[in-house]
Amino acid sequence: YGPKVVVVGGGYGGATAAKYVRMFSDYGIQVTLVEPNAAFVSCPISNLVLQGSKTIADITTPYDNLEKRHGVKIVRDMVTSIDAEKRVVKLAAGGELPYDRLILSPGIDFMWDTVAGMTKPGAQDKVLHAWKAGPQTVALRKQLEAMPDGGVYALSIPLAPYRCPPGPYERACMVANYFKKAKPKSKVVIFDANDDIQSKKGLFMKAWDEHYKGIIEYRPKHKVVEVDASTNTLKFEFNDDFKAAVANVVPNMRAGDIAVRTGLATANNRWCEVDFLTFESKAKKNIHVLGDAIQIAPGMPKSGHMANQHGKTCAAAVVSLLQGKEPPQLPIYANTCYSFVTDEDVVHVASVHRYDAEKKTMLAVPGSGGVSSAASELEGRYAHAWARNIWADTLA
Ligand code: FAD
């Protein structure tokens, strides 16, 4: 029946890889995708659910096409352990799946031990991250709706690297946009653990000045080290405590738990080092790791756009390797991250990365990429089209 590929995680990296292994092998390789969620929920565009112009249904896509159109077998479960020697994964429900090659795209998990107070019972249900789109996105929107006018929403940003460098600054714009319309006396305070804005700095500062003066306040070098969830109080390494009406704490991140437990997170026990030609783990043979979980090359963001292209590069390599051929040698990725700054106006950052055979890593192509000259409605239309296209490319 042909070789077996098991894919763990049906997000941007995993769903793309599952579909493209089927297509690149002319449907000759069996692919099983293990994912606990019933449907794919997109983090890109999820800040618009917080703002109120989109619903969670708008950013949700079923896995039906992967199954019906591409013959990917979907197993709705969690992988609890991986035996790299025997080449089997164990499932929470009790079964086992053998593989010839395993593709792991588990996304990120949070380093809760770096924020005291957040492991107390109930703390994580009250002080939300909403950094994995789904129930927390809806719950945070409800907290914002329930907040009295005049309240302060505090957003804390972890030290880089984290998932989606411009995402927090877009979120601040979207929450401020909602406040401007519905709760004009309310404020957004951003506490950034980093020294400065991590992406599209000039464009975000201009948007805050033009549209959200007196609403958004930005405080760099504020590292949250403790949270009192009962009072929504943030405590910092060096600064005074801050009590918010709604506290949104995005903790430090590392590769998804399953990757760490399997011993794949070789970079500081946080991120998984891979060979960029195949995405095969440097720690364990026949296991490929994609998406946010990997140790990125300089300048490569942890983004859905990138994870989608990791998925295709990895799929091509896995198909070649299983067919006894050399994997393709010269991957090139482009990345564009759009950020909404008002209902319609959007800014972007773009980059192109090419494999360097000598340095064995991905390098930014000189002279490529850049940022918008100004926010525009036209880019707003591009941003919505980008989302529709990538969802179709990943899942249809
Ligand atoms: P994910 O998409 O998170 O997928 C991981 C999947 O693995 C999940 O479905 C999870 O359920 C599953 N999983 C985990 N562990 C297991 C296990 N043990 N067994 C089975 N399944 C498992 N990127 C962009 O390109 N553009 C944007 O505009 C953009 N905006 C963003 C806005 C926000 C607010 C956020 C939070 C992120 C944004 N991103 C954006 C980043 C993007 O969402 C991530 O980079 C992308 O999701 C990474 O893909 P992934 O496959 O690594 O992880």
Q: Look up the ipTM and state it.
A: 0.99
Q: What 3-state class would DSSP assign to 347? A: strand
Atom of ligand 1 nearest to the CA of 258: 18
**Residue of 6, 7, 12, 48 best suited for mutating to test ligand 1, as the one with most atoms within 8 Å of CB:** 12
**Average pLDDT, 10 consecutive residues per value, the chain (396 residues):** 93 98 97 98 98 98 97 98 98 97 98 97 98 98 98 97 97 98 98 96 97 98 97 96 98 98 96 97 98 94 97 97 92 95 96 94 93 97 98 98
Pair of tokens at residue 5: 């590929």
Q: By CB neighbour count within 10 A (0-12 exposed, 13-18 middle, 19+ buried), where does 221 fall?
A: middle
Ligand 1 mean position, distance from CA 240 (Å): 33
Reading phi first (left if > 0) and then psi (alpha if -120 to 50, else beta), residue 27 is in left
CA angle 34, 35, 41 (to 5 degrees): 150
Say which residue the tokens 């991905």 belong to. Answer: 362
How many whole angstroms from its chain centre is CA 343? 22
A 10 A CB-CB count for 122 gives 9
Please name the residue that has the structure tokens 């970079």. 267
Closest CA to 145 of 247, 244, 246: 246
Whole-number pLDDT of residue 162: 97
Choose among 303, 280, 292, 325: nearest CA to 24. Answer: 325
DSSP letter string over 138-207?
HHHHHHHHHSPTT-EEEEEEPSSS-S-TTHHHHHHHHHHHHHHHH-TT-EEEEEESSSS--SSHHHHHHH
Helices then strands, counting H and E runs in the chain, come out as: 10, 23
Residues in the chain: 396
Residues 118 and 132: their CA atoms lie apart, in Å, by 17
What percentage of the chain has pLDDT greater than the value 90? 98
Helix (H/G/I), strand (E/B), else coil: 216: strand
> Of the residues 303, 335, 349, which should be mutated to test ligand 1's pocket, given the most ligand atoms within 8 Å of the CB?
303
Helix or strand (DSSP H, E) at 380:
helix 377-395
The finding on whether 44 has its CB within 6 A of some atom of ligand 1 is yes
What pairing do the DSSP bridges indicate for beta strands 4-8 and 101-104? parallel
Task: Output the pTM of the full model.
Answer: 0.97
DSSP annotation of 358 = T
Residue 154 Cα distances to 44, 233, 280, angstroms: 21, 10, 39
14 lines ligand 1 (CB under 6 A): yes
Q: How far is the CA of 304 from the centre of ligand 1 (A)?
A: 7
Whether residue 386 has its Cβ less than 6 Å from ligand 1: no
DSSP structure string for 81-146: EEETTTTEEEETTS-EEE-SEEEE---EEE-GGGSBTTTSTTHHHHSB---SSSHHHHHHHHHHHH
* pLDDT in the model for residue 1: 67
Position 299 scores a pLDDT of 87
